[in-house]
Structure formats: structure tokens, C-alpha cells
Amino acid sequence: MYHLISVVCPMYNEMDNITAFYERTVKVLTDTGQPFELICINDGSCDRTLDRLIALNQRDNRVKVIDLSRNYGKEIAMSAGIDYSRGEAVILIDADLQHPPEMIPALVEKWREGYDVVYATRSGQNGEPWLKRWTSHIFYKVINKLTSFDVPGDTGDFRLLDRKVVDALRQLHEQHRFMKGLFSWVGFRQTGVTYNQEPRHAGKSKWNYWQLCNLAIEGITSFSYTPLRFATFFGLVVAFLSIVYGIYLIIDTLLHGNPVPGYPSLMVMILFLGGVQLFTIGIIGEYIGRTYIETKKRPLYFVRSTRGFDTAAPVEMKCGSGRSEDAQ
């Protein structure tokens, strides 16, 4: 049975990777014998990414182009591609070829076996510094301890989603999106395949350690309020220890006197308690900030133009808007 496969690829300043990505991906998809569409999302690129995508669309009508109004980030760019996809199966992949397109048949095969989500797990990360690999491993350990569901470790966004999973994801309109968490949160029948991550074909990663740290905080605070509970218990422990220390000081003063003022210990306690308070306020602030953003109920993104689609967007889609420029 032949089903349409949608391949979704967000792009930000990837003009040097587009040709190689297109050639390898289209060859693999053609060999599967399945009809397909290749949806490329230009996420506010500053280089000639959009121009090259438009040229591909003019050459091959299976290439669809979504041009977002600005740079929204990879998580929302992926969401836009998912919203516009029409396939019975949707495959998410990166343009830098660290996700080898040659793994697509393995994903499709597992999907045909009845799995709704097939995620690709890295067996190696060529070109990635050891610190990034180690912190990634620790992050997955932590988030799985803090949440009520499991996020598979050593996985990126490279995966296949069945249409029922796509329809479920399209109902989730939160602004702060940690997609790997959402993929796991919606449930359904999931399995993994392993692959060896290749070095980037060209260019440098758009993710620095600061952005990865923010993404980690995003993931934890989006799916768990355990940090708030931790702050509560930590505050109780500090308060208890402070009372014990206060009782000790009173008893020691009554028994031995205190001719020398305890300035050093006093400063240590003040600084310690101040640090605890600021830390706790910071955790609370993260959650309050997310609540503030979500209450605005703004659209996830705006689309400047689309190419290759019959319509600008699905009629029922409420998280984005745009216009088609296929006639241009």
C-alpha cells in the first residue's frame, strides 16, 4: 500500500547544505517507491537559504517551502512543518546531514510494523565535543527522573510520526515548546532504531552551550514542577538547620559567654540564606514567566509566504497564518 510521506526539515542559514541534502534525501525517498513531499522551513535565514529553496521548488514540485516571518527557533519551525504536512507519516530531519537520510527506510519499515513513533537513537556522535555529549547524557538522566514519562536518551528530533501522532501534536499550542518532550508526552506506540551520527556536511552548529542550557531548562520546567517542590524542601531543610544552629549559639553563649562578636559566622549565614532565597525566587520566576507568556495566547508563528502548497495552510490550523506565492 502506498502512503504519502512528508519529510519536514527546518533550516536556518543552511545554504551550503541544501544541495547535498536534497540529492541524498530525494534519492532515498524515490528508492522507497512511496509518494513523498519534502517540506523545507526557512526559519528567518540571513543567507541565501530561501533563494535556493525557491529554486528547488521551481525544479521539483515535490519540494514545498515555508518562509517564516522571522527566526522563531527550531522547535517552532518544526511545529510549522508539522502543521503543513499532509502525509500519513511525517519524518523530521536536519539539513546538515548529521541525520543520514539513508536511515529513512528503516524508520518507514518500523512504521509499517505498526509503531506510531519511530525515533532514531545515536550510537555515535562524530565531531561532537565530549563535554556536549556528557552534558546531553546527564540531561536525559535528570529529565527522566523529574517527569512521569520517559524521554529516550541520545535522541534528537530525527524520527517518524504517524498521522494520529501529528494530529495530537497539532492540538498542543504552548509557546514554550520542548519537542522531544512533547513527542514522548503524547504517548502512542513508540520504538527506536540506532544510527551513527555523521559530522556536519558544511557550516557550524547553530547551538552554543548557552542555548543548550536554556533548552534544558525549557525541557525540565515544561514537563515537571519538581524544581518548585525541591525549592520548598530545600527551604525547609535550611530553616531547620538555621534553628538548630541558633539553639546551639544560645546554649554556647549561656555556658561559655561570647566575648568576641560572631561577625564571620553571621556574614556566612546571611550570604548563604540570601543565596538560597535568590535561587528559590529564580525557580519560581521561571514558572511565572512561562505562565505570563502562555496567557497571551499568541500564535506560534507567522508565515510570510509558502510555495508548492495547494493552500496556504490547513483550514483548521490556528497556530499560524500565511499566504501562498505559488503563482509568482
pLDDT > 60? residue 150: yes
Share of the chain above pLDDT 90, in %: 5
Cα–Cα distance for residue pair 23/37, rounded to 1 Å:
14
Residue 199 confidence (pLDDT): 62
Cα–Cα distance for residue pair 271/266, rounded to 1 Å:
9
Between 58 and 253, the more confident residue is 58
Fold of 5-133+149-206+299-307: Spore Coat Polysaccharide Biosynthesis Protein SpsA; Chain A (3.90.550)
Residue 142 confidence (pLDDT): 67
pLDDT > 50? residue 321: no
Residue 183 confidence (pLDDT): 80
Between 209 and 161, the more confident residue is 161
Cα–Cα distance for residue pair 228/221, rounded to 1 Å:
9
DSSP three-state, residue 117: strand
CB atoms near residue 250 (< 10 Å) = 11
Domain ranges of the chain: 5-133+149-206+299-307, 226-296
pLDDT > 70? residue 202: no
Residue 229 confidence (pLDDT): 65
Residue 250 confidence (pLDDT): 67
Of 29-38, 133-142, 162-171, the range with the lowest mean pLDDT is 133-142
Cα–Cα distance for residue pair 298/280, rounded to 1 Å:
29
What's the whole-model pTM score?
Answer: 0.66
* pLDDT tens track for 102-111: 888 988 888 8
Nearest one of 109, 110, 139, 319 to 216, comparing CA atoms: 139
Task: Pull the grid cell for residue 263.
Answer: 561577625
pLDDT > 80? residue 158: yes
* pLDDT tens track for 173-182: 777 777 777 8
- The torsion defined by the Cα of 230, 232, 237 and 239, in degrees rounded to 10, comes to 150
Residue 158 vs residues 40, 80, 90, 114: alpha-carbon distances, Å: 15, 16, 11, 18
Between 148 and 89, the more confident residue is 89
Biggest CA pair distance of the chain: 92
Between 137 and 285, the more confident residue is 285
Residue 129 confidence (pLDDT): 62
Non-local CB neighbours of 51 within 8 Å, separated by 6+ positions: 15
Non-local CB neighbours of 216 within 8 Å, separated by 6+ positions: 139, 143
Q: How many alpha carbons lie under 13 Å from residue 96 in its C-beta half-sphere?
A: 16
Between 21 and 293, the more confident residue is 21
* pLDDT tens track for 258-281: 666 665 566 567 767 777 777 777
* pLDDT tens track for 64-90: 999 998 888 888 888 888 889 888 889
